[in-house]
Chains A and B, each alone.
Chain A
Amino acid sequence: EDQVTQSPEALRLQEGESSSLNCSYTVSGLRGLFWYRQDPGKGPEFLFTLYSAGEEKEKERLKATLTKKESFLHITAPKPEDSATYLCAVSSPDYKLSFGAGTTVTVRA
């Protein structure tokens, strides 16, 4: 069974203080790794899909990278509006997503 572990559980940052979130996974064969952002009481918002080790994708202040065993979500010079829970998920052959527990990021002005 696929397993996804995210760390840290919570991250408090000062505005402009760059940091990274970790997503480690144990899968029988990686099909795809997904990053989502979720604001309180709302549905997850798609950020990135990664498939190959060494792959990198960027969107504004966010950059996602993938190795054979983990993925990192780097937040560069965060702003208060980047405060959210960031979810990592891996896909299985039957299209099921296995989510990690998430990292809740709080950015203080």
Chain B
Amino acid sequence: DTEVTQTPKHLVMGMTNKKSLKCEQHMGHRAMYWYKQKAKKPPELMFVYSYEKLSINESVPSRFSPECPNSSLLNLHLHALQPEDSALYLCASSPRQQGPLETQYFGPGTRLLVL
């Protein structure tokens, strides 16, 4: 089973709202990732958690706040977003035991629209 789940599938929010994206995996993976993907562009890395600790932040604006409550869950808290933040937000996970060869498995994504 290589399933990563994400909720919600779709989200519409105003610029003053606070919302959260959720990601879950039960593969025992110890690395989890958030990516942002704009239309017709490849995924762009935002954050990496390794063993529940933030290991990479790709200079993402503070209106995006990641959280890793445990090894299976990853959240992305959203606050005061801008319309240009509208995109497909992807979560991924990997074992963190196989070196750089290890595969990242992606969830289905959350389609976010900021009005």
A-side interface residues toward B, CB under 8 Å? Answer: 31-32, 34, 36, 41-46, 49, 51, 87, 89, 91-97, 99-102
A32:B101 contact, CB within 8 angstroms: yes
Report the minimum CB–CB distance from B36 to chain A (whole Å): 12
Q: Contact residues of B with A, CB < 8 Å?
A: 2, 4, 6, 31, 41-43, 45, 48, 50, 55-56, 88, 90, 92, 94, 96, 99-109, 111
Residue of A31, A34, A43 with highest tally of chain B CB at under 10 A: A43
User: At the interface, is chain A mostly helix, strand, loop or mixed?
Assistant: loop
Residue contact A93 to B41, C-beta cutoff 8 Å: no
A97-B45 contact, Cβ under 8 Å, with A42-B109, A91-B101, A92-B100: yes
9 new A-B contacts at CB < 8 Å, known A32-B102, A41-B109, A43-B90: A32-B100, A32-B101, A42-B109, A43-B107, A44-B43, A46-B2, A49-B103, A91-B100, A92-B100
B34, chain A: closest CB distance, angstroms: 12
Q: Are B101 and A87 in contact (CB under 8 A)?
A: no
- Assuming the contacts A99-B42, A102-B42, asked whether A45 and B104 have C-beta atoms less than 8 A apart, the reply is no
| Interchain pairs with CB closer than 8 A, number | 63
7 closest A-B pairs by beta carbon, nearest first, are A99-B42, A31-B100, A43-B106, A32-B101, A91-B100, A44-B106, A43-B109
- For the complex, give the distance between the alpha carbons of A102 and B2 in Å: 23
Contacts of A51 in B (CB 8 A): 101
Of the candidates B41, B48, B101, B108, which one forms a contact with A43 in the assembled complex, judged by CB atoms under 8 Å apart? B108
Residues of A within 8 A of B111 (CB): 41
With contacts A32-B100, A46-B2 known, is A96 near B48, CB below 8 A? yes
Cβ distance B46 to chain A, nearest Cβ, rounded Å: 11
Chain B residues within an 8 Å CB radius of A94: 48, 55-56
